[in-house]
Amino acid sequence: MNKGNVLDLEHFSDTYNQIESRLKKGSLIVFDKGANTKENLNLRRDAEMDYLTSMKLNLSDDEIIENFDLERTDK
């Protein structure tokens, strides 16, 4: 249990290290972009875990999102 003011990137590595021994290779780890750091990605890569997270966006992504063509997607 951590205090509410612990940064996600620190909380992830602490929690992951506590449960890693209970996870099987290829387990899917899901986390938000607050924990999406090179160090945290290396933790799961070294243990051969899959992951799902969101990317941190930057200004160049705004243009891509703005120009996204919804008509080309499945409805």
Give per-residue pLDDT as tens, 32-66.
888 888 888 888 788 888 889 887 777 777 788 88
Query: What CA–CA distances, in Å, run from 53 to 1, 5, 31?
Result: 22, 21, 5
Percent of the chain with pLDDT over 90: 7
Residue 29 domain-assigned (yes or no)? yes
Query: What CA–CA distances, in Å, run from 65 to 6, 16, 58, 74?
Result: 31, 32, 11, 17
Percent of the chain with pLDDT over 70: 85
Total domain count, the chain: 1
pTM higher than 0.85:
no
Cα dihedral sign, 70-71-74-75: positive
Residue 37 domain-assigned (yes or no)? yes
The average pLDDT across 5-29 equals: 84
Domain range for 21: 8-72
